[in-house]
Amino acid sequence: MNLIKSKQRVVDHGEVFTPPWLVEKMLDLVKGETERIDSRFLEPACGSGNFLVPILQRKLAAVELKFGKSDFEKHHHALLALMCCYGIELLADNIAECRANMLEVLADYLALGADDDLYCAAAHVLSLNLVHGDAMRMRAIDDAPICVVEWGYLGKGKFQRRDFRLDVLTGMASFSAEDSLFSTLGKHEIFTPAKTFPPMSVHDLATANYGMGASA
């Protein structure tokens, strides 16, 4: 496996990929979390998904163990597994590869075709969760603040979406520091979503075209 694409990209963007054996060793350090369907992972310089792809594979193995016998539950929990994977990447070709790699893993697992609702819903989720942007500045490529979508599974085929600003989420630690002006505020007062959506089905997600921070 090539760990670099070009010397220039190493110089310009520090682009050196982590070898798979090391990724697996690192993921084993948090093995329990990687095998939990709804644990959330954010990789702030995700490249083409060297960490996110095996994380998704581990989550899907957990889906198979827990829901393998029910097609309905298996499909919805597999989508939830995908919904819990997040990445930010500066380079357009890398983020496109990352989205494609993640979609391929899900599609292979569920034997999906490109016309299936679940395939389109997953592509929509990936366009939101895998952000083309600058993780240091917390800005998407169009310079809008990066938003993070919190997905939840409500059961019976419905998903909840709430959007948060990444700079607000990452600022929470300092907000709640003991000597902060805001230390007397409850977390709920800071942890307010920028937007909350009504519950959505896979079909709703498949046909959704309202975007947010989903720079292509």
Which of 42, 55, 79, 135 is the binder for ligand SAM (CB under 6 A)?
135
- State the Cα angle at 100 between 97 and 104, rounded to 5°: 135
Of 104, 100, 71, 102, the closest CA to residue 84 belongs to 102
- Please, which of residues 40-99 interact with ligand SAM by CB under 6 A? 43, 45-47, 50-51, 88-91, 94
Residue 38 in contact with ligand SAM, rule: CB under 6 A:
no
Nearest-approach distance from CB 10 to ligand SAM, in angstroms: 9
Nearest-approach distance from CB 62 to ligand SAM, in angstroms: 22
Distance (Å, rounded) from C-alpha 206 to C-alpha 122? 8
Distance (Å, rounded) from C-alpha 33 to C-alpha 141? 30
Helix, strand, or coil (residue 200): strand
Distance (Å, rounded) from C-alpha 69 to C-alpha 79? 16
Nearest-approach distance from CB 79 to ligand SAM, in angstroms: 24
Nearest-approach distance from CB 1 to ligand SAM, in angstroms: 10
Distance (Å, rounded) from C-alpha 18 to C-alpha 174? 31
Q: Which is nearer to ligand SAM, 123 or 135 (CB)?
A: 135
Q: How many residues bind ligand SAM (CB under 6 A)?
A: 20
- State the residues that interact with ligand SAM by CB under 6 A: 13-18, 43, 45-47, 50-51, 88-91, 94, 134-136
